[in-house]
Amino acid sequence: MENKKTKANDVESLFEQRLATNFTLIKDLFFSLYPENQHKKSFKRLLTTLPELFKNRPSSLKSMDIDRVKKGNWYMSQELVGMQLYVDHFNKDLKGLEKKLGYFEKLGVNFVHLMPITPRPKGENDGGYAVNSYHKVDPRYGTQEDLLSLTQKMRDKNMYLMLDFVANHTSDEYPWAKKAVAGDLKYQGYYHIYPDRTIPDEFETTLPEIFPMTSPGNFTYNAEMQKWVMTVFNPYQWDLDYSNPMVFIEMLGNLTKLADLGVDVVRLDALAFMWKKLGTESQNLPEAHTLISLFRMCLQVIAPGVVFLAEAIVAPKEIIKYFGSGRMMGNECEIAYNATLMALLWDAIATKKAVLLYKNIKSLPEKPKESTWINYIRCHDDIGLGFEDHHIHELGWNAVSHRKFLLDYYCQNIDWSPAKGHMFMYNPKTGDGRITGSAASLLGLEMALEQNDQAKIDQSIAKIIMMHAIILSYGGVPLIYAGDEIGTLNDYSYLEDNDKKEDGRWVNRPFQDWNTIAQIDSGNNHQTQIFLTLQHLIKLRKSYHAFADKNQVILYEAHNPHFFIYERPLGKNNGILVVCNFDEVPQTIYENALGTYGSENNVIDLISGEQPVFVNGTLKLDPYEILWLSKNNIE
């Protein structure tokens, strides 16, 4: 009994230390958003809220927090491999998901991102990103007890869970919104609500449209209030007004309640939009970064074992800022989506060249040492083409024409393209559009199977494997979309669902094919080939410390536009050189382009377990072949 009391006192003491250490920074951040001469009472409210939220955190999670703080940067390990999924598309509900934890273990996945499982409006709800509650579970997925059971089982298996925190907006059915509609001025002050079009019209002069085809404009008229509400995404998603400090304090409570369910990584959804300011696009504003830092520092006091992922699918120069910059360097989000790499990989597939990939990566500033990327080839969403125009122009290409080519290539507007993707949210005024489709369909497998062309099938499989081998070897946490590990094709069933048929992103959100998976070990098909190869690559990744993210990805000049080459160095001889051929025909590279990974060092390809064959000082790679070269693994 005394030992338990001592441990409890130690935990409490460490909380006090964290609060004391971060107090000045929290205070400065708070008053930079909310002027001190107006908001002293609000700051006092925050200071009383922090210990209350810590007190409510389960003791087992408090102990886990301490262990993780001691371990340090656990999210940068090469042993982390992730998968993203919709619970109902994967295996019905949370209980069904729990039954499939063994499947993750078989593949090698130990980090799982569940798409929103919280209550949402019936009908259209943006895939669950219209939030009716931040910590309850929608009955279609089970109960909160089911979620707690899942997170406990995952901790027992050393697996990690990521859930979304939709910080920018609530649904129009959220309790605050309902009270606002009922005339409660306090809760009308939690949103951007205006009596007439004067201020909305001012905003509209600079605000872009997120969904111009289905949700044009950024404001929705509410007849009951007879007022206009800011709804940047969809009419049923009401943007929160963070210029009101009570919104921040109450949302901090929602955030910690979510973390207390056993969540390890909180995905901050739409964080680039969180602060609104007239005369701007209201994206990526300095105040938004300050707000995120304030959330992060408060969460680190309450639950330091939990980290943030930035869902910032923005221009490359903006993404890097979500790790924190200036005096807040490393004090914003610990993880961010590597959307730049993702989009550029698709560019390289379409052009069969890695030149734009090199251009963009070289221009990115180095990220803080305490942060890492999520590397992925696709997610539940569409694929945007957020490249820097000047990089395209520097290659002698026209940016507008190049983006049109990419859209045409992937969206079935070029007869020689093998891709079977679909256009999403095309804006005829700007020519901008996005791409939807499963990885396998975008990489030609669907068309190859329709044509029953074995050569094309093999080439598509090679593309799928190469793309995944890149995200498994690049610096950061690889995230596989569920179904891609077996080459699942586009799912057109959404067209028969009235709630989904207007959102083309559902084509790349397939149901998991458990019948195929049941035959995975004995099958002689593309599903088995892709699964077993990815299983092998994941096992290799976990075995080599060079793949841990220690801020070391060194680009090599290939002198051949079809190659992408980078090193993951570790000590003198323990590094790994990744060599990829993006062309549909074999390509050769001079040995001297491989640095010290040439024939004289008797290198081995970890993937095949064989020594590469050098001929007259050159090395040939087959179409879409990838090598992981090591100097330290010769028997």
Residues annotated as catalytic are: 269, 311
Distant-in-sequence, close-in-space partners of 308: CB < 8 Å, separation ≥ 6: 265, 266, 268, 292, 295, 296, 299, 332, 333, 334, 335
- What is the token pair recorded at 436? 């939807």
Q: At what angle do helices 454-473 and 526-543 cross, to 10 degrees?
A: 20
Distant-in-sequence, close-in-space partners of 616: CB < 8 Å, separation ≥ 6: none
Backbone angles phi, psi at 160, to 5 degrees: -120, 150
Distant-in-sequence, close-in-space partners of 537: CB < 8 Å, separation ≥ 6: 465, 468, 469, 472, 607
The three-state (H, E, C) secondary structure of 205-240, written as one string: CCCCCCECCCECCCEEEECCCCEEEECCCCCCEEEE
What pairing do the DSSP bridges indicate for beta strands 626-630 and 554-555?
A: unpaired
- What is the token pair recorded at 570? 């570790």
Q: How far apart are CA 528 and CA 355, in angstroms?
A: 33
Phi-psi region of 375 (alpha: psi -120 to 50; beta: other; left: phi over 0): beta
Task: Compute how many other C-beta atoms are within 10 angstroms of the C-beta atom of residue 543.
Answer: 12
* Angstrom distances, CA of residue 221 to CA of 195, 206, 226, 255, 334: 10, 19, 7, 29, 38
- What is the token pair recorded at 27? 């205070």
Of 262, 284, 264, 263, which Cα lies nearest the Cα of 273?
284
- Beta-strand ranges (E) seen in 343-464 are 372-375, 422-427, 432-436
Q: How far apart are CA 44 and CA 1, in angstroms?
A: 35
Question: Do the beta carbons of residue 255 and residue 241 sit within 8 Å?
Answer: no
